[in-house]
């Protein structure tokens, strides 16, 4: 039977374990804590009541950035990352955001293309990964 999926807003601290396991297991745990985590809006995807994926949104006026989209390694490629993306895109529309952007790992670019994000010319290297700023205009 396919698992029961629920997405809901969660406390910032609940994102840290999944960020660490999915994104930076080789770095110290504290590395995944963001200085502005307590100013963000965080969402968790529960699969059969187990927290399995997370994403965090940060607002500046009508522009939103999402950060640290992460799905537990054993649960990747099951559509959960896509469900979280759809959820925050809907959320941004409801909030009347004009743009959503992220620092995308270059090796995850194709994932974001699927949701209509396009690359900008801003690229950088951090913590062992190449990043590119990707963005999407939001309309009704």
Ligand X SMILES: CC(C)(COP(=O)(O)OP(=O)(O)OC[C@H]1O[C@@H](n2cnc3c(N)ncnc32)[C@H](O)[C@@H]1OP(=O)(O)O)[C@@H](O)C(=O)NCCC(=O)NCCS
Residue at shortest CB range from ligand X: 81
**Nearer CB in complex with ligand X: 132/140:** 132
Cα distances (angstroms) measured from residue 46 to each of 6, 40, 49, 97, 102:
5, 19, 5, 26, 23
101 and 61 in contact (C-beta within 8 Å)?
A: no
- How far does Cα 113 stand from its chain's mean position? 14
What distance in Å separates the CA atoms of residue 20 and residue 27, rounded to the nearest whole number?
A: 8
Q: Name the minimum Å distance from CB 76 to ligand X.
A: 3
Query: Alpha-carbon Rg of the chain, whole angstroms?
Result: 14
Q: Considering the complex, state which of residue 69 and residue 100 has its C-beta at the smaller distance from ligand X.
A: 69
Q: How far is the CB of 104 from ligand X (least distance, A)?
A: 5
Question: Interface with ligand X by CB under 6 A: which residues?
Answer: 22-23, 69-71, 76-82, 104-105, 107-108, 110-111, 114
CB of 109 to ligand X, least distance (A): 7
Nearer to ligand X, 24 or 139 (CB): 24
Cβ at position 38, least distance to ligand X in Å: 21
Q: Which of 54, 32, 36 is nearest to 45 (CA)?
A: 54
Return the number of the residue (107 or 139) whose C-beta is nearest ligand X.
107
């Amino acid at each position: 039977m396919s698992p029961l999926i629920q997405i809901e807003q969660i406390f910032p601290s609940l994102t840290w374990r999944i960020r660490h396991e999915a994104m930076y297991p080789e770095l110290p745990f504290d590395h995944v804590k963001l200085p502005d985590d307590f100013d963000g809006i965080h969402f968790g995807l529960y699969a059969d009541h187990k927290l399995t994926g997370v994403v965090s949104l940060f607002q500046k006026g009508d522009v939103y950035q999402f950060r640290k989209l992460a799905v537990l390694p054993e649960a990747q490629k099951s559509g959960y990352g896509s469900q979280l993306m759809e959820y925050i895109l809907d959320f941004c529309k409801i909030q009347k955001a004009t743009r959503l952007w992220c620092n995308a790992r270059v090796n995850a670019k194709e994932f974001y293309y699927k949701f209509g994000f396009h690359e900008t010319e801003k690229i950088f290297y951090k913590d062992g990964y190449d990043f590119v700023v990707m963005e999407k205009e939001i309309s009704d």
